[in-house]
Amino acid sequence: MLLITCPWCGPRDEIEFTCGGEAHRARPQDPAATDDAAFADFLFMRTNPKGLQRERWCHSQGCRRWFNLERSTITHEITRIYKMGEQPEASADATSPARQGGQP
């Protein structure tokens, strides 16, 4: 159960939130002018990194606001939380080495 700090409400349990997947995948400004390959990339392809990933979350059982966070997909450590429209610099990947070689 992650502890997520909503930028508006403060720290709350994960069950109050819904995850909207990878962040910063903007909808094409002019979809009609986007070719098939680029549009398919927008629709279907995700980075799925091992390490830090930026994600969209919605405090759907609270203030209903969407926001972004940066989370390690290895340790689940949340390294940044920021509002929509912001795009802070990436954190150094401080993912603990303890998690890197975990057993399945």
Judged on CB neighbours under 10 Å (0-12, 13-18, 19+), 54 is buried
* Interaction of residue 2 with other proteins, rule CB under 8 A: yes
Binding positions for Zn ion, rule: CB under 5 A: 6, 8-9, 59, 62-63
* Interaction of residue 3 with other proteins, rule CB under 8 A: yes
Segment interacting with other proteins, rule: CB under 8 A, options 46-54, 58-66, 86-94: 58-66
Report helix, strand or coil for 11: strand
Query: Regarding beta strands 10-13 and 3-6, do their DSSP bridges make them parallel or antiparallel, or are they unpaired?
Result: antiparallel
Segment interacting with other proteins, rule: CB under 8 A, options 47-55, 70-78, 86-94: 70-78
- List the Cα angle 70/74/77 in 5-degree steps: 45
Q: Which is nearer to other proteins, 89 or 102 (CB)?
A: 102
Provide the binding-site residues for other proteins, judged by CB under 8 A: 1-3, 13, 18, 20, 26-28, 30-32, 34, 36, 39-40, 42-43, 56, 58, 60, 64-66, 75-76, 78, 84-85, 96-99, 101-104
